[in-house]
Structure 1
Amino acid sequence: MLEDLPTAELAAYVRKWDGHLSRYFGPRMDPAGKRILVIGSQFGPEILWALKRGAAHVVGVDPAPARTDALEAALVEAGLGDRLDAFEMISGTTHTLGEMGGFDYVMSNNVFEHIHDLAHTLMSLRRFVPARGNRVVIFADPLFYSSAGHHLRAGPWDHLTRSAAELEPTVPPRQWEAYRTQLNGMTITDFLGAVRDSGMILLDLGIVADRALDRFAELRPLISPGLKPMDLCCEGIACTLAFPENI
């Protein structure tokens, strides 16, 4: 598991997200001089990305206890050893955080496909983005019904074409527990419904087409006909959101 890796290896993991974050967050936010809240910060890839691009201060929040050694090592390697006081990592959720003041951006990468009460969580962000121009930027991938939505080392759509009894023996116990308890089954329309119910405004929306589209026609007959092709073939979403007072 990632949390068991030595500092150098975990720092490499933190660094490897730079291109991904630049692709999906770069067009939607400019971190320079900004105060940023990262939802689901884990070991800090988003914090590193933002600080490398001049963020003034970054706060990461994650339910798991914070481990900062890998992020600190990655910052030093990036020549940002003087920015070690420009971030903090807090164990908690958006519902449990104390008064933090306002942020220019809230960002979240590969987290919302795990959150069970989407609208409630989106609404909880309101106190963190109180001012005009503040934005919430979200990337979520893979969504549950996509080919990799199981988040397992398994084949495309295996969670929809194989029974649980057949699939479970092929998966390590901790991963199986995460599969059973930490995925919310979200589709793109579920997410948009939560955005609407939360009172937020959708400013832009991009999708990631499924990585296994070339096998969809072959495997479609094995998947329940009640599941819609759009949900099966939309792997991820990237979007910018705001509350009315942010416009």
Structure 2
Amino acid sequence: MLEDLPTAELAAYVRKWDGHLTRYFGPRMDPAGKRILVIGSQFGPEILWALKRGAARVVGVDPAPARTDALEAALVEAGLGDRLDAFEMISGTTHTLGDVGGFDYVMSNNVFEHIHDLAHTLMSLRRFVPARGNRIVIFADPLFYSSAGHHLRAGPWEHLTRSAAELEPTVPPRQWEAYRTQLNGMTITDFLGAVRDSGMILLDLGIVPDRAMDRFAELRPLISPGLKPMDLCCEGIACTLAFPENI
């Protein structure tokens, strides 16, 4: 597992997300000179990305205990050894986080597909974006019913075409436990409903089509007819949100 990797290997993992973050967050936020809160910061890829682009201060929050050595190594390698005091990683959630002030942006990458109370969590972000112009940027992928929604080393839609008894022996125990307990089954409709219920405004929405779309016609007959094609073929979402007072 990632938490067991030595510093150099974990730093490489932190660095590898730069292109992905630029693609999905770059058009939606400019970190330069801004205060940024990262939800689900894990080992710090988003913190590195923001600091490389001139963020003034970045705070990361994650339920897992914070490990900063890989991020620090990645910052030094990027020539940002003088910015090691520009970030903070806190163990917790948006519900337990203390007074850390307001932020220009809240960002979250590949986290909301794991959060079970979507609307409550979205509402908890309100105190972190108190001013006009503040924004929340979220990327979530893969959604549960997409071909890779199992988050496992399994084939397209195998979690929907094979029984649990068939699938479990092919998966390492820790991955299987995560699959069974750490995914919320979120669809795009679920997410948009949570946005609506939280009182937020959707400013933009981008869709990631499923990576295995070319196999959908072949595998669709094996999947329960009760599952909607839109949910099966929408792999991810990227969006910008705001509360009314941010407009």
By the TM > 0.5 criterion, same fold? yes
SS in 2 for 1:108: strand
Question: Which residue in the other structure is 1:58 paired with?
Answer: 58
State the distance in 2 between where 1:41 and 1:207 align: 23
Give the superposition deviation at 1:100: 1.0
Deviations 1:82-137 (A, max 9, x none): 00000000000000001111000000000000000000000000000000000000
Identity among equivalent positions (%) equals 97
Give the superposition deviation at 1:238: 0.0
Give the superposition deviation at 1:199: 0.3
Question: Which residue in the other structure is 1:94 paired with?
Answer: 94
SS in 2 for 1:205: strand
State the distance in 2 between where 1:28 and 1:214 align: 29
Deviations 1:210-239 (A, max 9, x none): 000000000000000000000000000000
Deviations 1:138-169 (A, max 9, x none): 00000000000000000000000000000000
Deviations 1:52-95 (A, max 9, x none): 00000000000000000000000000000000000000000000
State the distance in 2 between where 1:92 and 1:63 align: 4
CA RMSD of aligned residues (A): 0.3
State the distance in 1 between where 2:211 and 2:57 align: 35
State the distance in 1 between where 2:207 and 2:121 align: 21
* Count of residue correspondences: 247
State the distance in 2 between where 1:6 and 1:207 align: 35
**TM-score relative to the length of structure 2:** 1.00
Question: Which residue in the other structure is 2:146 paired with?
Answer: 146
Give the superposition deviation at 1:242: 0.1
Give the superposition deviation at 1:204: 0.1
State the distance in 2 between where 1:101 and 1:47 align: 17
Give the superposition deviation at 1:41: 0.2
State the distance in 1 between where 2:169 and 2:130 align: 48
Unaligned runs of 5+ in 1: none
Unaligned runs of 5+ in 2: none
State the distance in 2 between where 1:148 and 1:65 align: 27
Deviations 1:166-219 (A, max 9, x none): 000000111000000000000001000000000000000000000000000000
State the distance in 2 between where 1:162 and 1:14 align: 33
**TM-score relative to the length of structure 1:** 1.00
SS in 2 for 1:237: strand
Over 4 Å off, 4+ runs: none
